[in-house]
Structure 1
Amino acid sequence: MSLYDLARPLVFRLDAERAHGLAIEALKRGLVKRQDIPLDSRLRVDLVGLSFGNPLGLAAGFDKNAEVPDAMLRLGFGFVEIGTVTPLPQEGNAKPRIFRLPEALAVINRLGFNNEGHAEVAERLEKRARKPGIVGVNIGANKDSADRIADYVTGIHRFAELARYLTINISSPNTPGLRNLQKGSDLDDLLTHAVAARDGAAALTASERKPLFLKVAPDLSLDEVEAIAETAKRRKVDGLIVSNTTLSRHGIEGHKLVNEIGGLSGRPLYGRSTYVLAAFRRALGPEFPLIGAGGVENARTALGKIEAGADLVQLYSAMVYGGPDLPIRILKDMIRFLDKTGLDTIRHLRDSKVEEILARDPPVGWEQARA
């Protein structure tokens, strides 16, 4: 039993957002023990011009303001994604806005892109500019913005030199109307401007073009998956992150918090997000980079994402329940899996169950979540 297992009952007596703030503060002060990270060349992944020491990443949302990216890398993550960051600081939605569901190993949140804004986050990233480790920046639009596409363009220009990669987040369910940017001409217009901004930033600074990812929702029909995939390929986005939180409540039916508004993450999201991931892999083909997120809580679920088409995986909600040594436990179990199977590289596992997953019925509540 870990120290976190012993402390968790006390931590869970605190409001979830308060507990998260204390965790960030502990990481900033160096109070969380540095982990002995297992190194194994079989876990290395080369993707979009970057070399990841292992495929396990920290999803956006944990470190919204780039306060502790290096502390999280020291816990074993192969890469860390900070944000979501909007041009102007914003408070987000009214509190309380994060809800733990321990019985389901799940979280509901309706934070609404609360963050300190471009200027504050960029200043922190500038101070770590020469440090090792892959840190990506997830960018968003202000809730009251008159031109959301302009907000994304501004974010790309602001962080192009500071991030190892950039992520366009249009899939949060907690900013009204944001997910509409995933559709038709709106998505085409956004990606046209975003790619042009990324290329323009590189030309302006005579630097390399940073990989540009698009983060999508899990609440998509197969037709919508096909449409997004076609637009992403045509506009030459570098990759997709699949997926954000869901509006579905499958897996927590009857729970006292089932009617709380917001996105559901954690264990109940795994089946839905993995199905959509496999659908994107089939639609995009074998060469298109994909990051799998949603319900990753151990080595088995991380490997399941890779089998469904992911090159890399991300987690966040599982840290609430697993604690700071979770990344190391996952990596060690991945290495044991490779020892047992005799695989030369984790990449050999990729796509191995795409068709098997898609042969199943779509996740329960699919249509209700999309409504």
Structure 2
Amino acid sequence: MDAAAAAARRHFSGKGRLLTGALIGLAIGGGAYVSTADEAKFCGWLFKSTELVNPLFAMLDAEFAHRLAVKAAAHGFVPREKRPDPPVLGLEVWGRKFANPIGLAAGFDKNAEAVEGLLGMGFGFVEVGSVTPLPQEGNPKPRIFRLREHGAVINRCGFNSEGIVVVAKRLGAQHGKRKMEETSSSTSPSTSDIKQGGKAGPGILGVNLGKNKTSEDAAADYVQGVHTLSQYADYLVINISSPNTPGLRKLQGRKQLKDLVKKVQAARDEMQWAEDGPPPLLVKIAPDLSKQDLEDIAAVALALRLDGLIISNTTVSRPPPADTHPLAQETGGLSGKPLFDLSTNILREMYILTRGKIPLIGCGGVSSGEDAYKKIRSGATLVQLYTALAYGGPALIPRIKAELAERLDRDGFKSVQEAIGADFR
């Protein structure tokens, strides 16, 4: 048993048992109901019913609630989306077909425990990690703080990770299961059907790489991650923007970033790949960057033909109204609604600086279909969320997709691809 699981067991309160009972009850009740009801209606009911569980999660310690949510997804105690996404949401990026542009950001499933369950909830893609070469506990607890009235969270987890060996074993097992299912399927899927998903199943899987806190050679850490995990990833991310690992953000400097990306690209490209080629390589940046910083990053991204940028990570600033909260003085990165404007402004700047030539993933403060739409119009090809899921639960996912589809239709876009960067046209 890992340390986190042991700690969870020690702290498993009556509230935790009540919550697990509720989740199991939903699953059992759903199984009885689905046999007699229309599948689409049942699916909608099951997602809606998860809203009843959210108040129970709110009563738990933030990190314990997070661990319980991961375990629930890993063991199938979450709703599974059976309804097809609106066709307007489909798009192709890096030669990969996404059923929709809404993804789960890194940080939720750090150790790739619940990939199948999370993709099954209807995300177009899921990003696991950050994964460090060696296991590390991260920073001391408590390290996650809810600013509930502002829809925000402050965390200083510090890349707590089980390490690449453990994560590689999990992803390898999932990859093997996927291949076996494809091989043993009674109806052989067409090539186009297989490409609709990724290496982990029906959606696309991203792997976010980090460095160990005590490592003196950051590039070596990222290269090790590439060598070990890239075969299981539909795309890779170099995370150099967490505020909770000392010195990490310095790697965003022009020279440091250029040297780092060159080494990681070389490590990826020297490996042997099938006809699909190597996974795309992205860099995740911070929202706390100057105009010069952004210009430097854009120049490196264009010169080295980086496959994409994720904008952005959490902020060390405290945008209003979060700045007035009693917990605002806690050290760490802030995520959630107060980050939306800051991260979206950085997204717009980077879209202009890269001249729309590099796919951007908009991340930070997304909690509705309108938020996702604004990110896309501001230059995002794909959109990620995390904090909103912690507050809204699984019911948030179909709601965001429906709202996004409605806005695209309202403004006359035939596909989400047409809306990318629309504010600049």
Q: TM-score range, shorter-chain basis?
A: over 0.9
- The 1-side partners of 2:104 and 2:111 are apart by 14
For the residue of structure 1 that corresponds to 2:271, the secondary structure is helix
* Coordinate RMSD, CA, aligned: 1.6
| Structure 1 counterpart of 2:16 | none
| Structure 1 counterpart of 2:212 | 142
Structure 2 matches for 1:113-132, cutoff 5 A? 113-129=159-175, 130=178, 131-132=200-201
Structure 2 matches for 1:91-102, cutoff 5 A? 91-102=137-148
Judge conservation of contact 1:136–1:163 (CA < 8 Å) in 2: yes
- The 1-side partners of 2:85 and 2:341 are apart by 30
Deviation at 1:313, TM superposition (A): 0.4
The structure-2 alpha-carbon separation of the partners of 1:69 and 1:272, relative to structure 1 and needing over 3 Å to count, comes to same
| Structure 2 counterpart of 1:216 | 285
- The 2-side partners of 1:269 and 1:63 are apart by 21
| Structure 1 counterpart of 2:121 | 75
Structure 1 residue 42 corresponds to structure 2 residue 52: no
| Structure 1 counterpart of 2:423 | 353
Judge conservation of contact 2:75–2:117 (CA < 8 Å) in 1: no
- The 1-side partners of 2:272 and 2:355 are apart by 28
Q: Deviations over 1:119-156 (max 9, x none)?
A: 00001101111342211100010000121110001111
Identity percentage of aligned residues = 49
- The 1-side partners of 2:220 and 2:141 are apart by 28
Q: Deviations over 1:162-219 (max 9, x none)?
A: 111100000000001000000021111101101111111246x786111000000001
Structure 1 residue 261 corresponds to structure 2 residue 331: yes
Query: What is the aligned residue count?
Result: 354
Structure 1 residue 249 corresponds to structure 2 residue 318: yes
Judge conservation of contact 2:207–2:229 (CA < 8 Å) in 1: yes
- Given residue 106 of structure 1, which amino acid in structure 2 is its aligned partner? A
Q: Which of 347, 363, 369 does residue 299 from structure 1 map onto?
A: 369
Deviation at 1:334, TM superposition (A): 1.8
For the residue of structure 2 that corresponds to 1:353, the secondary structure is helix
For the residue of structure 2 that corresponds to 1:161, the secondary structure is helix
| Structure 1 counterpart of 2:358 | 288
Deviation at 1:286, TM superposition (A): 1.9
Deviation at 1:38, TM superposition (A): 3.6
Q: Which runs of 5+ in 2 are unaligned?
A: 1-46, 179-199
- The 2-side partners of 1:212 and 1:245 are apart by 20
Judge conservation of contact 1:37–1:328 (CA < 8 Å) in 2: no
Judge conservation of contact 2:306–2:358 (CA < 8 Å) in 1: no
For the residue of structure 1 that corresponds to 2:384, the secondary structure is strand
Judge conservation of contact 2:335–2:364 (CA < 8 Å) in 1: yes
Moved over 4 A (4+): none
Judge conservation of contact 1:306–1:349 (CA < 8 Å) in 2: yes
Deviation at 1:354, TM superposition (A): 4.5
Bigger CA radius of gyration: 2
Judge conservation of contact 2:130–2:239 (CA < 8 Å) in 1: yes
Judge conservation of contact 1:195–1:236 (CA < 8 Å) in 2: no
Judge conservation of contact 2:168–2:228 (CA < 8 Å) in 1: yes
Structure 2 matches for 1:1-371, cutoff 5 A? 2-129=48-175, 130=178, 131-132=200-201, 133-202=203-272, 208-251=277-320, 252-354=322-424
For the residue of structure 1 that corresponds to 2:112, the secondary structure is coil
- The 2-side partners of 1:243 and 1:328 are apart by 23
Query: Between Structure 1 and Structure 2, which shows a larger proportion of helix residues?
Result: 2
- The 2-side partners of 1:225 and 1:107 are apart by 25
Q: Which runs of 5+ in 1 are unaligned?
A: 356-371
| Structure 2 counterpart of 1:359 | none
- The 1-side partners of 2:157 and 2:267 are apart by 28
Deviation at 1:337, TM superposition (A): 2.1
- The 2-side partners of 1:336 and 1:315 are apart by 19
| Structure 1 counterpart of 2:183 | none
For the residue of structure 1 that corresponds to 2:374, the secondary structure is helix
Deviation at 1:69, TM superposition (A): 1.0
- The 1-side partners of 2:240 and 2:87 are apart by 34
- Given residue 224 of structure 2, which amino acid in structure 1 is its aligned partner? T
The structure-2 alpha-carbon separation of the partners of 1:343 and 1:354, relative to structure 1 and needing over 3 Å to count, comes to closer
- Given residue 279 of structure 2, which amino acid in structure 1 is its aligned partner? K
TM-score, length basis structure 2: 0.81
Judge conservation of contact 1:291–1:310 (CA < 8 Å) in 2: yes
Deviation at 1:8, TM superposition (A): 2.8
Which range is displaced more, 128-137 or 50-59?
Answer: 128-137
